[in-house]
Amino acid sequence: MNKKPIATELRLAIVLVPLMAVLTILSPRFLTLDNLTNVVWSVCFIGILSSGAIYPRITGGIDLSLGSTAALSGIVVDLFMNRMGIPWIPSIFLTVVIGSLVGLFNGFIVAKIKIPAFVVTMAAKTYLYGIALVVSQGAMLAILEPKPFILISTGRFLGLPNPIYIMVALVITSQFVLRRTAFGRQVMAVGSNEVAARLSGVDPDRVRLISYTISGGTSAVGGVILASLTQQVFAAAASGIELDVMTALVIGGTSAVGGRGSVVGALIGAIMVAFIINGLNLLNVPNLYQPIAIGTVIILALLLNEGYLVPKRRTLSRA
């Protein structure tokens, strides 16, 4: 009881390793480089979005407009490159700026007008989807050009798909910002006790504004990566992804009421879900059963993060 609390990441790894061991025993195909690469590759999109979505979550809010922002970003980057003829690098840059502005607008309504984030971003999810529909004229657009753009996601470096590098870079950066910068400290403080944070010199409105802006920005990055990977863009491209991201955050130990969280934990959470899906597939369990398995894992993770299921360690998580 008087020992140092175990870090969330470590606690997750303790669960992850036996899970992998079981899957390895059950299916010889599980522990192969190809299969593992595939699993990690499949969570790249969730990992990228989580690296930004965690900020609003820790402040005690939520960004439910991630999926719509990502889909819109794919359509917009295509618009810039293939219809307006802007070179691909500035096109991506502009798209990320637009995504950040979308986040900034969400943050403005949440921080300044004080409307609950859940409602604000739920509305944003809908109107951004609407804008995406209009811009794309409701069509599914194929992106075949430019080649370098397609290579962002389809290319490999040292044998691994590029998106893995992008995701790892974003997750590490985000984790660094959360753990080692003044801003990260302030995000945690606002989520823990906004009034106390304010009296200690933190500007909660500014912290919220920046948090939602980051979330919008990483959603746009995710949207661009997704577009390059699938080579097609449409308004419903990332529909429902916000739930997968929130699942990853929850499993990764990000508190539902704010004040605590880890991007690396979220990534491990996403990988854990992916492993389970992968394992079920390898074992030829029908897809029908997947949601039951995933839902159960979420509940178990919540119990674990709240200090249950770990004997004699009930004190480590809650005040």
Partner 1 sequence: MATNDIGADLLLECRSITKSYSGHVVLDAVDFSVRRGEVHALVGENGAGKSTLIKIITGATGRDSGQMVYDGTVVPMEHLRRDAEALGIAVIYQELSLIPGMTVAQNIFLGKEPLRPLTRLIDVRKLNDQARDLIERYQFPLKPGDLIDDISIAQRQLVEILKALSGKASLMIMDEPTSSLTKTEVEMLFKIIALLKSEGISVLYISHRMEEVYSLSDRVTVLRDGKLVKVLDKEEISPEEIIRLMIGHKLEEKAVQHELSPKGGNVVLEVRGLTSVGKFEDLSFDLHEGEVLGIGGLVGSGRTELVRALYGADPFDAGTIRYLGKEWVPSVRKSIEGGIGFIPEERRLQGILATQSITRNIGIPNLDRIAPRGIVSVKEEDRRAARGIELLNVKPPRPEQLVGNLSGGNQQKVVLAKWLVRDLKLIFIDEPTVGIDIGAKEEIYEHIRALSARGVSVLLVSSDLPELTRLSDRVIVLRQGRFFHEFRECVLTGEKILRAASGIREGDDE
Contacting residues toward partner 1, per CB under 8 A: 2, 4-5, 180-186, 188-189, 191-193, 195-203, 255, 259-260, 315, 318-319
Q: What is the DSSP letter of 259?
A: S
Nearer to partner 1, 47 or 191 (CB): 191
Q: In terms of DSSP bridges, do strands 160-161 and 232-233 run parallel, antiparallel, or are they unpaired? A: unpaired
Tokens of residue 72, six digits: 């819109």
Nearer to partner 1, 118 or 289 (CB): 118
CA 192 to chain centre: 21
What distance in Å separates the CA atoms of residue 44 and residue 300, rounded to the nearest whole number?
24
Q: How far is the CB of 261 from partner 1 (least distance, A)?
A: 11
Residue type, 32: T
Is the Cβ–Cβ distance between 69 and 220 less than 8 Å?
A: yes
- For residue 310, the SS3 value is coil
What distance in Å separates the CA atoms of residue 49 and residue 255, rounded to the nearest whole number?
17
Nearer to partner 1, 195 or 288 (CB): 195
Nearer to partner 1, 282 or 306 (CB): 306
Q: How far is the CB of 4 from partner 1 (least distance, A)?
A: 6
Q: How far is the CB of 207 from partner 1 (least distance, A)?
A: 12
Is the Cβ–Cβ distance between 152 and 231 less than 8 Å?
A: no
- Going from the C-alpha of 274 to that of each of 90, 150, 218, 299, 308, the distances in angstroms are 33, 25, 21, 16, 24
Residue among 292, 307, 104, 135 at smallest CA distance from 213: 104
Q: How far is the CB of 204 from partner 1 (least distance, A)?
A: 11
Q: How far is the CB of 188 from partner 1 (least distance, A)?
A: 6
Nearer to partner 1, 153 or 255 (CB): 255
Nearer to partner 1, 100 or 186 (CB): 186
Q: How far is the CB of 317 from partner 1 (least distance, A)?
A: 9
